[in-house]
Amino acid sequence: MCGIAGYLRLDDSVVMPDESLIGRMANSLRHRGPDEFGVYIDDYCALGHSRLSIIDLASGSQPLSNEDDSLWIVYNGEVFNYIELRSELKQAGHRFRTHSDTEVILHAYEEWGRGCLDRFNGQFAFAIYDKNRGAIFIARDRLGIRPVFYTVHNGRFIFGSEIKAIFCDRSVPRRLDYKGLDEIFTWWTTCPPRTAFERINELSAGCYVEVCNGEIKTGRWWEMSFPTEFDRGRSAESWAEELHELLVDAVRLRLRADVPVGAYLSGGLDSSATTALIKHFTDTRVETFSIAFQDKAYDESAYQVEMAEHLGTNHHQVSCTYHDIAGNFPNVIRHTERPIVRTAPTPLYMLSALVRKHDFKVVLTGEGADEIFGGYDLFKETLIRRFWSRRIDSPWRPLLLRKLYPTLPLSPGRARFYLETFYKAGLADPEAWTFSHQPRINTTIKLKEYFTEDAQKRIGGHSSVDAFGVDLPERFGDWHHLVRAQYLEVKSLLSGYLLSSQGDRVASANSVEGRYPFLDHRVVELGARIPPWHKLRGLNEKAILKRAMKKELPAAILSRVKQPYMAPDSNSFFCENRPDYIDELLSEQALAAAGVFKPEAVAKLKSKCARLSHAHLSFKDNMSFIGILSTQLLVSLFLDDFRPAETLTRENFSRFYDFRGQPSRKV
Q: Answer yes or no: are the C-beta atoms of 324 and 608 closer than 8 Å.
A: no
Which of 529, 534, 421, 412 lies closest to 479, judged by CA?
529
**Which one from 2, 116, 168, 191 is the annotated catalytic residue?**
2
Residues constituting the chain: 667
Residue 360 CA to residue 511 CA, distance in Å, equals 9
Handedness of CA 477, 483, 487, 492 (dihedral sign): positive
Active site residue 191: no
CA angle 143, 144, 150 (to 5 degrees): 150
Handedness of CA 72, 75, 81, 83 (dihedral sign): positive
Residue 643 CA to residue 664 CA, distance in Å, equals 33
Which of 150, 459, 92 lies closest to 109, judged by CA?
92
Residue 538 burial (10 A CB sphere; 0-12, 13-18, 19+): exposed
Reduced to 3 states (helix: H, G, I; strand: E, B; else coil), residue 537 is: strand
Give the chain's radius of gyration (CA, Å).
Answer: 25
Q: Write phi, then psi, for 394 (nearest 5 degrees).
A: -65, 130
Q: Answer yes or no: are the C-beta atoms of 369 and 268 closer than 8 Å.
A: no
Residue 144 CA to residue 154 CA, distance in Å, equals 28
Reduced to 3 states (helix: H, G, I; strand: E, B; else coil), residue 286 is: coil
Q: Answer yes or no: are the C-beta atoms of 610 and 430 closer than 8 Å.
A: no
Which of 525, 539, 636, 519 lies closest to 585, judged by CA?
636
CA separation (Å) from 124 to 117, 209, 617? 10, 14, 39
Q: Write phi, then psi, for 130 (nearest 5 degrees).
A: -100, 105
Helix (H) or strand (E) holding 159: strand 156-160
Return the number of other C-beta atoms located less than 10 Å from residue 94's C-beta: 18
CA separation (Å) from 307 to 303, 350, 641? 6, 21, 45
Residue 423 CA to residue 656 CA, distance in Å, equals 56
Residue 37 CA to residue 61 CA, distance in Å, equals 8
Reduced to 3 states (helix: H, G, I; strand: E, B; else coil), residue 618 is: coil
Enzyme catalytic residues: 2
